[in-house]
Amino acid sequence: MLALGKLLDLTLAGREPAEKTQLTVDGVRMRWLAEGALEVRPPEVRDNGMDLLLSAGIHGNETAPIELLDRLLHDIARGVVKPRARILFLFGNPAAMRTGGRFVEEDLNRLFNGRHESSSGYEAMRAHELERLATTFFSVPQRTRLHYDLHTAIRGSKIEQFALYPYKQGRTHSLRELGRLRAAGMQAVLLQNKPSIVFSAFTYEQLDVEAFTLELGKARPFGQNEGLNLQSLERRLTHIIEGCEQPEDSIDGLELFRVAREVIKHSDRFILHLPLHVENFAELPKGYVLAEDPGHPRWVIEEAQARIIFPNPKVKNGLRAGIIIEPERAPVLV
């Protein structure tokens, strides 16, 4: 197998490849761009006009998505998968991947859309580099653009595999993309209602990409993801890469949610009244006191059928410590 097909090995070892460009036996060009970044380009006669960005490891301990991208790259390097799409593989936070930690200094996925400019350190520099790599990759006009940023969550989830659909004023959610997510094994989608500072929001808002954060179960160490079934996602990604995907507009069975409120941590005295075993998508009864922060209004559940996702009282002050969501009854789709 070509050395560049072992991008994960290179990244975990902190090594730069001797050869920056290699060709598979089928004429697919693999080009190393930076640490954890590899461009795959099919022969011109096979190029179907799709630009696909696949990112994982924005949090270094989210190993199942990293292993999934590693398998896809191995198959491309061996000639088992024959791309018709142009692909950018990104391992987002190599330093955290090497230590097995979520991050080195601060949460990389809270530093996009220019947020890195008000910070410093390793993750701030990496966010800037990832924005640059994505901007260059998606700079070719008149091509179809898709970005899946693959994650696993700190907590378990009552809905194990779900997606977050970013927001931009004036853009409408795509029925075809929701059907594609359903075919990829997503059980639910959260339709966001304001701009964000995560990686998929950057590509969606700034680069006119159909972009999604995919949550694929609970974070576990490398080699301990046997119980996580990503077959539907892996099959769909292979079909997208090979250009043999069947369009899927049906979203039957796909649960749609919208953001009701975000819980913001204002101070070190913030208290989140949720036990550690409470999972994402856990239902919250009306009247439940979810969180308190002295000097600020309490977060009391007012919504019918409210649920919680991403509860995390350890975030920095000023950041989101959880999202209260509710079912979306009347989505606007095109």
Kindly report, residue by residue over 188-201, the tens digit of the pLDDT: 999 999 999 999 99
Residue 308 and residue 156 in contact, taking contact as beta carbons nearer than 8 Å: no
Question: What is the chain's Cα-based Rg?
Answer: 20
Q: Is 151 annotated as a binding residue?
A: yes
pLDDT band per the 50, 70, 90 thresholds, residue 118: confident
Mean pLDDT of the region 17-24:
96
Q: Kindly give, in sequence order, each residue whose CB lies less than 8 Å from that of residue 161, ignoring residues fewer than 6 positions away.
A: 185, 186, 187, 214, 215, 216, 217, 233
pLDDT at 224 over 90: no
Let me know if 255 is a catalytic residue: no
Quick one: pLDDT at residue 249?
A: 77
Quick one: pLDDT at residue 329?
A: 83
Fold for domain 262-327? OB fold (Dihydrolipoamide Acetyltransferase, E2P) (2.40.50)
Residue given tokens 């390793």 in the structure block: 122
Q: Is 245 annotated as a binding residue?
A: no
Q: Kindly give, in sequence order, each residue whose CB lies less than 8 Å from that of residue 28, ignoring residues fewer than 6 positions away.
A: 40, 41, 42, 43, 76, 79, 82, 83
Q: Which of 215, 283, 302, 328 is catalytic?
A: 215
Mean pLDDT of the region 124-138:
98
CA distance 39 to 92: 14
Query: Which region among 8-17, 138-147, 249-258 has the lowest average model confidence (pLDDT)?
Result: 249-258
Q: Is 333 exposed, middle or buried (0-12, 13-18, 19+ CB in 10 A)?
A: middle
Q: Kindly give, in sequence order, each residue whose CB lies less than 8 Å from that of residue 197, ignoring residues fewer than 6 positions away.
A: 110, 111, 112, 113, 115
Fold for domain 3-242? Aminopeptidase (3.40.630)
Picking from 169, 114, 149, 302, the residue whose alpha carbon sits closest to that of residue 237 is: 149
Mean pLDDT of the region 75-101:
97
Kindly tell me the sign of the dihedral angle through the C-alpha atoms of 111, 117, 115, 313.
positive
Mean pLDDT of the region 288-294:
97
Q: Kindly give, in sequence order, each residue whose CB lies less than 8 Å from that of residue 244, ignoring residues fewer than 6 positions away.
A: none
pLDDT at 330 over 90: no
CA distance 104 to 95: 7
CA distance 64 to 234: 12
pLDDT at 165 over 90: yes
Same fold? 3-242, 262-327? no
pLDDT band per the 50, 70, 90 thresholds, residue 109: very high
Q: Is 277 annotated as a binding residue?
A: no
pTM, two decimal places: 0.96
pLDDT at 139 over 90: yes
What percent of the chain clears pLDDT 70, i.e. is strictly above it?
A: 100
Q: What is the mean pLDDT of the chain?
A: 95
